Amino acid sequence: MIGTRAQHILISACSTLLCVVPAQAALISVDASVFNQDASLITFSEVPDQTGNPVFIPGPNAGGSRPTVSTGGLFSGQAVDFNCAGCVTGSPSDGLSLVGNAQPVFTTLVPGSADEAILSGSPRFNGPISILFSIGVNAAGFIGSFFDAPGSHVLTAFDRQGNLLGSVENGLTGAQFLGLADDSGANSIAGIQFGRAGDNSAGFALDDLRFGQAGQISLPTSEVSVAEPRGLAWLALAIIAGMGCLRRRKSAGPGISPAAL
């Protein structure tokens, strides 16, 4: 992933080279501390063990504007990569929605625990997990676990049209909070997905899902690394390489320059 510096280089490069920069929300990677007391938290102990595709509806005393949260394995338009357990192929369709009968997710107990619930994909600890918000949120994240290598799993965010907003991979082994937020203050995140990005033999699941709208999130004032669609990152790198070629030519001679739910 590339950060804000690369974005600035990309914009500068476009003044010299012909290119098109796709419009996108400015997502940043965040930790659990940005979710204030009014943000929502789902621990997955709210429903019985083995509940399939659980749906969480805001309670009458929740207060504020809160989404209904639906879960499933895939978004419409996507498919499972059967050559890679937990990997997803394809892009979500416009009008982001879940595929109800494919790759269900379910609550299950943490191995060795009698009452601590987590959310798993299918098959157990080896399937993608998708989460849909009925109204957009400014930030969302969770504790992902069983990571046995950095970069093995990825949290991806989509808007209501199914466009990729950004992603962030785990940088640690074991367990890690993965979160994304729109630093413009917009409630642009309509859904998130948790899946495989690399080798991981230990399986994966998520716990303590946090989310909130603008006003329920306190973003840091210091700059945080930007989580961008990978296509844009590669475009930026290609442009940077192109600028290097132009510099070399120039130097050689004349020419071109759930709070409770």
Phi then psi dihedrals of residue 121, to 5 deg: -90, -175
Q: Is the dihedral of CA 39, 68, 31, 187 positive or negative?
A: negative
Clarify whether residues 53 and 64 are in a common domain.
Answer: yes
Clarify whether residues 122 and 157 are in a common domain.
Answer: yes
Q: Are 232 and 23 in contact (CB under 8 A)?
A: no
Q: How far apart are CA 165 and CA 227, in angstroms?
A: 8
Looking at the structure of the chain, the number of domains it has is 2
CA distances (Å), origin 10, targets 5, 27, 237, 238, 256: 9, 17, 8, 10, 19
Q: How far apart are CA 20 and CA 13, in angstroms?
A: 11
Mean pLDDT of 40-53: 97
Clarify whether residues 106 and 153 are in a common domain.
Answer: yes
Element spanning 13, H or E? helix 4-14
Residue-level pLDDT at 61: 81
pLDDT digits (tens, 9 = 90+) for 195-249: 999 887 889 999 999 999 999 999 987 544 555 554 444 334 333 344 343 333 3
Clarify whether residues 53 and 72 are in a common domain.
Answer: yes
Q: Which residue has the tokens 């296509």?
A: 231
Q: How far apart are CA 73 and CA 80, in angstroms?
A: 9
Clarify whether residues 181 and 252 are in a common domain.
Answer: no
* Nearest Cα residue to 182 out of 231, 144, 133, 143: 133
Q: Average pLDDT, whole number, for the chain? A: 81
Residue-level pLDDT at 82: 83
Give the 3-state secondary structure of residue 53.
Answer: coil
Clarify whether residues 120 and 15 are in a common domain.
Answer: no
Clarify whether residues 18 and 33 are in a common domain.
Answer: no
CATH of the domain at 86: 2.60.120
Q: Domain of 12?
A: 1-24+229-257
Clarify whether residues 9 and 91 are in a common domain.
Answer: no
Q: Are 189 and 130 in contact (CB under 8 A)?
A: no
pLDDT digits (tens, 9 = 90+) for 120-177: 999 999 999 999 999 999 999 999 999 999 999 999 999 999 999 999 999 999 999 9
Break the chain down into helix, strand, coil percent, rounded to 5: 15, 35, 55
* pLDDT band, very low/low/confident/very high, at 85 (cuts 50, 70, 90): confident
Residue-level pLDDT at 199: 81
pLDDT digits (tens, 9 = 90+) for 164-200: 999 999 999 999 999 999 999 999 999 999 999 988 7
